[in-house]
Amino acid sequence: MESKEHIHIYNSTGKQICCSLEQKIDSKTPPPLLHEANSNKDGHTHSHSHSGGSGHWKAYYPAIGSFILLISGIGLDFFDVAFFKGWLRIIWYVIAYIPVGLPVVKEAFEALKQGEIFTEFFLMSIATIGAFAIGEYPEGVAVMLFYAVGELFQSAAVRRAKDNIKALLDVRPKIANVFRNGSFVEVNPSDVNIEETIQVKVGEKVPLDGTLLSEKASLNTAAITGESKPQSILYGENVLAGSINMEGVIEVKTTKLFNDSSVARILELVQNATAKKAKTELLIRRLAKVYTPIVVYLAIGVCFLPYFFVDDYIFSDWLYRALIFLVISCPCALVISIPLGYFGGLGAASKNGILFKGAMYLDELKNVNTIVMDKTGTVTKGVFKIDEIKTFGAWKKETMMPLLLSIESKSTHPIAKAILQYESSQSIPDASDVKEIAGKGLTGLVNSKKIIVGNQKLMQQFNIETPQEIAEIVESVVLVAIDGDFAGFVTIADELKEDAQESISAFKEIGIKLLMMLSGDKNSITQKVAQSLGIQHAKGGLLPEDKLNEVELLKQNKTGKIAFIGDGINDAPVLAASDVGIAMGAMGSDVAIETADVIIQTDQLSKVITGIQIANSTQKIIWQNIVLAFGIKIIVLILGAGGLATMWEAVFADVGVALLAILNAVRLQRMNW
């Protein structure tokens, strides 16, 4: 799974801040980790490593030191302290400038070596060095300090960048109990050969694909296939790696090597899909490409063009104006106000239980017009519940259910547990002679009555006739026969989330053009759920690669953006491949959470609507801040070119715009969503 491929991630000014495939841009306002220490289904605990603690504060030390020196120097200037003159004053401000200015000058020099002249680093360097050249030392330090603070805001976006590949590797089983030399020994799954026998205990994950050697097994395959109902596997049937053993100790004969297993295949899909995900540049980067050369050429014009039109042209005076023009043109307000707009959006989202792993996904979510979603755990709760109870002939629900509950109380099957949640008004008698018939159901005696509980195959085994409508039921169904007479059935279904219906309607109202459901669950169940919610396009029985192929087909239409909503390991590849991957964070798998771009902490589908609304409002705030910053900047630039504005006025204008931008951005967090 190691890869030498690198993906470059840039901050808003174009500075490379991350270069490894394992890293992924995090939010502008780093959210708290969803799981500081997560227990996987093997019972092992693993922690998500992240940068944090006291280490990241070191990045603020240069700006703090520069600020202290600047304020001290301004104070000494204001009180006209006698010793603070000449070279001492110059050296003082140079020392104040170096911590925040030297890194920017270095970046400008590196960009120049690569042939990139009109970068923001170049503009900041020329303008502030120019301020020193004309003796405006405090202004030069102040302008660069403002810029450095903006850079710190940008750097905060990746302070908690996650190592996605490492998180994915944590999902794979760490050990395999393989039968060698007369006993089971623990080895690394990658060391197990084909056709070796492995043992899997209750609650453990199956480490490799194989066939079942035990008589039967109940496996939770939701993480691999997305099917909500645990599968009953019989001797000789296939077992997928990553499945969780629900009952008893089982033995499996391996059919594939570890690197060819279902889990490894999913991880490979995630890695490839992540590599194909486009990296979006923030707006300030695109603006700087146009803005920077314009102001540089204008400053050159301010210096030299008056020679042809002014009679008393003095080069030093117009050079002074040109340098002031450059200082004024420094886009500090933009550098601060645009990220602040994103901060406001991210803060508002966080307050509503929505975590964005980067400001770029606010932009992406705003443009989404197609939403694809998983079923189990996304629109449904992923929890079994009795959906319908129906009796036939002389049998009544009050008579049948106590007998059914009595038999099911002897079983540990997940469906039995769902049935036992039924609250009967009658007393539950004791069952005796209860026998389990593998893959079919249970038989037993209750009050001297022979009770048969199970599927259609079990009824056929005992020659019990069932109504035709049984064949048309798409949900999991438990048939009940009493003393050879068919009494009725109970259907078990995954319950819809309370806000599912409302959310689907809201998606349509806000302009989502296409809604699609893709599920690993049975196609019949998927179609029924989709129909009940008003989703016209749905496909079931899909493996992770099938879901990925469906989304790739949708992406061929370049007219819109695709968001995928899911929660399982099987959703990870398509979460990574979609334009915006949205994971349900409360019940979702660690892999889905790590792979997704947006995390819904409360698992409420309606929060996706809230996220889209916040994204739209954030864009409005961003553009308001851009117009505000550019408008005031242009006015002051004109005044500066005419000699009517000083650098202190320019700095003040920047600070004023920044404060207005802050107040504007704060509005996002005060809105009711």
Residue 220 lies in a domain: yes
Kindly tell me the sign of the dihedral angle through the C-alpha atoms of 226, 231, 234, 240.
positive
The whole domain housing 456 covers 382-496
Q: Count of domains in the chain?
A: 3
**Cβ atoms of 271 and 3 closer than 8 Å:** yes
Q: How many CA atoms lie within 13 A of 549 on its CB side?
A: 6
Residue ending a domain, among 461, 481, 496, is 496
Active-site positions?
374
Whether the pLDDT of residue 625 is over 50: the answer is yes
Residue ending a domain, among 475, 496, 517, is 496
Mark whether 180 and 129 lie in a shared domain: no
Mark whether 62 and 133 lie in a shared domain: yes
Residue 395 lies in a domain: yes
Buried b (16+ CB within 10 A) or exposed e, 215-250: ebbbbbbbbbbbbbbbbbbeeeeebbbbbbbbbeeb
CATH code of the domain covering residue 236: 2.70.150.10
Q: What angle do CA 135, 139, 140 make, to 5 degrees?
A: 75
Express each pLDDT in 13-28 by its tens digit: 333 333 332 333 333 3
Mark whether 154 and 183 lie in a shared domain: no
Residue 300 lies in a domain: no
**Cβ atoms of 224 and 205 closer than 8 Å:** no
Q: Which residue has the higher pLDDT, 671 or 297?
A: 297
Query: Closest Cα partner for 582 from 279, 374, 342?
Result: 374
Q: Taking each helix axis from N to C terminus, what angle separates 606-641 and 283-304, rounded to the nearest 10 degrees?
A: 0
Mark whether 90 and 124 lie in a shared domain: yes
Whether the pLDDT of residue 163 is over 70: the answer is no
- Candidate from 161-175, 280-294, 359-373 with smallest mean pLDDT: 161-175
- Candidate from 25-34, 202-211, 213-222, 407-416 with smallest mean pLDDT: 25-34
Whether the pLDDT of residue 39 is over 50: the answer is no
Share of the chain above pLDDT 70, in %: 78
Residue 216 lies in a domain: yes
C-alpha span between 386 and 494 (Å, rounded): 9
Mark whether 99 and 197 lie in a shared domain: no
For residue 488, give the H/E element and its range.
strand 485-496
C-alpha span between 120 and 108 (Å, rounded): 8
- Cα dihedral 191, 192, 194, 195 in deg (nearest 10): 150
Mark whether 186 and 149 lie in a shared domain: no
Q: Which residue has the higher pLDDT, 638 or 118?
A: 638
Tokens of 596: 């997704």
C-alpha span between 347 and 363 (Å, rounded): 15
**Cβ atoms of 286 and 234 closer than 8 Å:** no
Query: Closest Cα partner for 503 from 372, 608, 386, 350?
Result: 608
Whether the pLDDT of residue 614 is over 70: the answer is yes
Mean pLDDT of 38-65: 56
Express each pLDDT in 57-66 by its tens digit: 788 899 999 9
Mark whether 224 and 121 lie in a shared domain: no
Mark whether 396 and 477 lie in a shared domain: yes
Mean pLDDT of 303-319: 88
CATH code of the domain covering residue 456: 3.40.1110.10
C-alpha distances in angstroms, 586 versus 188, 377, 470, 520? 31, 10, 36, 20
Whether the pLDDT of residue 31 is over 50: the answer is no
Whether the pLDDT of residue 502 is over 80: the answer is yes
What is the reported pLDDT for 16?
37
C-alpha span between 151 and 484 (Å, rounded): 78
Mean predicted lDDT score pLDDT of the chain? 79
Mark whether 388 and 490 lie in a shared domain: yes
Residue 182 lies in a domain: yes
Residue 214 lies in a domain: yes
Residue ending a domain, among 496, 519, 552, is 496
What is the reported pLDDT for 58?
83
C-alpha span between 123 and 108 (Å, rounded): 8
Whether the pLDDT of residue 157 is over 60: the answer is no
- Candidate from 13-17, 52-56, 373-377 with smallest mean pLDDT: 13-17
Mark whether 443 and 417 lie in a shared domain: yes
Mean pLDDT of 490-502: 90
pLDDT band at 148 (very low <50, low <70, confident <90, very high): confident
- Candidate from 22-36, 370-384, 387-401 with smallest mean pLDDT: 22-36
**Cβ atoms of 574 and 150 closer than 8 Å:** no
Distance of CA 201 to the CA centre of its chain: 32
Mean pLDDT of 524-536: 91
Whether the pLDDT of residue 186 is over 50: the answer is yes
pLDDT band at 407 (very low <50, low <70, confident <90, very high): very high
pLDDT band at 433 (very low <50, low <70, confident <90, very high): very high
SS (H, E, C) 178-231: EEECCEEEEECHHHCCCCCEEEECCCCECCCCEEECCCEEEEECHHHHCCCCCE
- Candidate from 191-195, 349-353, 430-434, 494-498 with smallest mean pLDDT: 349-353
Distance of CA 499 to the CA centre of its chain: 21
C-alpha span between 552 and 545 (Å, rounded): 10
Whether the pLDDT of residue 548 is over 50: the answer is yes
Q: What is the CA radius of gyration of the chain?
A: 33
Residue 477 lies in a domain: yes
Mark whether 100 and 68 lie in a shared domain: yes
The per-residue DSSP string of 529-560 comes to HHHHHT--EEE-S--HHHHHHHHHHHHT-TTS
Tokens of 602: 């409360």
Mark whether 224 and 138 lie in a shared domain: no
